Structure 1
Amino acid sequence: MNTVNESWVNANTTDVLRFITAGSVDDGKSTLIGRLLLDTRGVFADQLTAINKSKYRRTTASEPDLALLTDGLEAEREQGITIDIAYRYFATPQRKFIVADAPGHEQYTRNMITGASTAQAAIILIDASKARDGQLLTQTRRHSTIAQLLNIPHIIVAVNKMDLVDWDENVFNTIKASYAKLAEQVGIKNFHAIPVSALQGDNISQASAHTPWFNDLPLLQRLEQLPTETPAPQTEARLFVQWVIRHDGHSAQAFRGYAGQLQRGTLSIGDSVRVWPSKTTATITSLLRSGQAVSSVQAGDAVTLTLDKELDISRGDLLSLATEKLPLSRTLEADLCWLDTTTLNPARHYLLKQGTRLTQAKLTAIHHVRDIETLEPISGSQSLHMNDLASISLTVRDPLVNEPYQTQPATGAFILIDPATHQTAAAGMLR
C-alpha cells in the first residue's frame, strides 16, 4: 500500500525494519520521528533552519519544533495535527528504518491502516500528562486493536512527555499496567514500555539521567534489536499475476510471460506451480528480474516467469507451488474496518480486491461490532459506520483463496470498493 525508495532499501545488505507510530492526537508522534531523524543525522542543517523560522512552530526559541519535519502539509502545520501518512527514512550502523507517521485523529484512522499494513513494528505513543491516572484514550485503544488485527509482531509503548509529570515512576508504572490490561483484552501477547520525552530526547537514542529506575533499552536501541520478519518456508510461494506480457506473437519464438511481485516464499526454474482458482499446473522455464535472467527469486522481488505450457492465466490469478493445496471458497469470514464516510448498505454489492483479483462481494452478516471503549463485541448492528471494527461474513462471485491473515497476509488481506464512487470502503482480514 505504500511507496518507498527500493533502491535505498536494497543499497546494501543491512536489514530494514518498517515501523509505524500511532496513538491519539498530540501524543507526540511527529515529534518522536523528528527526534529520531535528528539523533541519527537524518536531517540537513537547512531543514532545521527552515523549521526554526516557520510561522507554525509551537516550541520555545531554544527548541526546534521537530514535528514540522514530518508534518509537511500546510493544513497539518496550521492545525498542529497529522492528516496524511508521512514516510521517512533513516539509518544507524546496525539497521535501516522506514517509519510511517500515522494520524492520531479518529477521522484519519484509515490512513493509519494504510501505514500499518506493511509494518513490522508499531510504536504506540501515550501522553503521560493525559493518562497519569491510567485512563487510556480512545484512539490509543483503537490503534492498538488495529495493530493486533493486522498481526504486527512487535509493539513498543512509548510513554511520552514524561518531563511534564516530573519523571514520576509511579505515573509510568500506572500507564504500563493499564496498557497491559488493554493488551490482554485485544490479544497483544508482548510489548515493551519505555518512558521518553521526544522533545527533549530522553530515552530516545541514549538512556536518560531522569530515569535511573528504568533499566531497559532506550527506544532506538530497542528498534535496532527487534527481529525482522522470518522468511517463509521453502514449501510456500504466493504470486498474484499483475500483467500477462506478450510480444512477437507472429513468431515461432513468441514470448508469453506472467509478471507480478512474489509476496511470499521462493520460486526457482524447474519448480512446478499451480494456478488458482483453475488448479492447472505447469513448470517454470525461466525467471526474469529487472530484465535480467535469474535462476531463483524470493519474496519482495518483482518477477516475470514463463511456463512450459500455455495455460489460461490472466490478471488476478494466484500462483503457488504445485505441492500446496489452498482452500477455495465463495463464502468468507473476516474482520473488517469500515473506512468510508458513507455507511454500509447491506443490500448493495461491493467490489472485493484480493491481491490483483477483483470480484463482486456482498456482506451477508454482521456478527458483531467491537465497542472501542470496552472492547466488548456488540451484536445486532445492521450497518457499519466509519472506523467501525466488525466481524462479518460475505459471499463473492468468484471463488477466492481463503487463507487466514494471521498466517498468510498476502492472501488474507482484502479491500472493499464502492463501485459507484470507486472509494475504498473497507479493509478486511480473513479469519
Structure 2
Amino acid sequence: MSDWHSWAAIAVFVGTYALIISERIHRVAAALGGAGLMLAIGATDDVSAFYLQDRGIDWNVIFLLLGMMLIVGVLKQTGMFEYLAIWAVKRARARPFRVMTMLILITAVASALLDNVTTVLLIAPVTLLVCERLALPVAPFLIAEVLASNVGGTATLVGDPPNIIIASRAGLTFNDFLIHLAPLSAVLTAVLVVLCRFLFRKSFAYDEDRAAEVMDLEEREAIRDPRLLVQGLAVLVLVVAGFVLHPVLHYEPSVVALLGAGLLIAISAVETNDVLAEVEWRTLAFFAGLFVVIGGLIDTGVISAVADSLAGAIGDRELGGSMLMLGASAALSGVVDNIPYVATMAPITGDLVQSLGGEADHVMWWTLALGADLGGNATAIGASANVVVLGIAERNRTPISFWQFTKYGLVVTAVTVALSAVYVWLRYFALA
C-alpha cells in the first residue's frame, strides 16, 4: 500500500463517503463521481470495474434488484399491497406499535427464507400504504424493517449475500447456518422489537378516527385485477422456490429474478413501459458507482492490507481473535458495503481457520458472518437493503437522510453485536 494509487484511492473513497454523509450533493452523483475518479486516476480499470465480480460492479446484485423491482412493479397494479396493508392494520387493531411489531416479524422471517433485498422490495410498498392510512410517519417504520431484514437475513445461507460467499468458501450448508446462527437471529429479532419500542416511541400516536376508517374497510375490495394477481403470485412463488433451491439448482438469485420478471411480463397484459417506470433506476446507478469505488480500494490493495492487518492481529488467539473478527467486521461493514468486504476477507479467514484447527464450522466463520451481516445496519449504506429502502423512500417523497437512518442503526448495531459477542463466548468457549 505504498504507491500513490493506494493513497489516491483512499482520498477518493473518503471524499465520496463525506459527500454521501453530508448530502451536499445527491448520493447517486457522489457515487458515480467517485467511480469516475477511481477510473481516472487508474486505481481500477474498465476490466476490473465492469467484468470482475469480486473487484467491480456485482452484476448479480444489480440484476437481482432489477428483476425483483419489475415483479413488484407488476404486483403494484393488482392492488395486492393495498390488500396486505389493510389486512395487517386490522390484525393489529390499528395500534401503531403492534403494526410495527408485525412488520418487523414478517420482514425478519421473510429475509431468512428469501434474501433481505427481495424482502424489503416486497414489504416497503405495504408499509407506505399502512402509514398513509393511519397518518403515521413513514421513516421509523421503513428503518425498523431494514434493521429487521439484516437481522433476519443472518439466520440462513440465502438470507444475506455475505452468507452465500462464506458458505461457498467454507463448504458450509444451509443446515449449518440454521444450527449456528438461526437461534441467535431469533433472539436478536425479539430484542429489535423492544429497542424499536423506545427508539421510535414518538411515532406511535394513535388516531382513533383514522383507525376506525381502516377497520371498516373490506380488504378484498382493494384487489383491482384478480387475474393479474394470480399470475403475479404464481410467478412470485416460482421465484421464491428458485431462491430456496439455490443449493440444488445452482441458479444465481439474479438469474431466477430475471427469469421470473421476464415470464410475468410475457404472460400478463401489462404495459412494459408502465412496469419499467417502477424501477428504482437511481438506486441501481448508486450501487454501480459504489461498487466501482470499493473496487478501486480492492485493486490498489487497500482492502487486502486492512484484512491482512486484522489477520495478523488475530494470530493464534482463538477467543480474542473471534471477538476481534466480530467487532472489526461490524465496524468495517458499516463503512464498506459488506459484500466486497466479505469477498476479500473470506480467503484470509480460511487460512486462519486452517491454522486454528481447520473445522468447516469454525467459530471464525460465524463471527465473520455476524459482524458483516449485523454491521450492515450501522449506516445508511452499510448493506444493500439499506440503500434500496432509502431509494424507495425518496421516490415516494418521504426521504430518509443518511444521519436519520444512521443514528438508529448505530444503536441497534451496538446492541446486537454486543449480544452476539456474549453468544459466541457462551456457545463456542464457555459451554463448549
Instruction: Please report the TM-score for the alignment, with normalisation by the length of structure 1.
Output: 0.24
> Which is strand-richer, 1 or 2?
1
Between structure 1 and structure 2, the one with the greater Rg is 1
> Which is helix-richer, 1 or 2?
2
Determine which structure has greater relative contact order: mean sequence separation of CA pairs < 8 Å that are 6+ residues apart, divided by chain length.
2
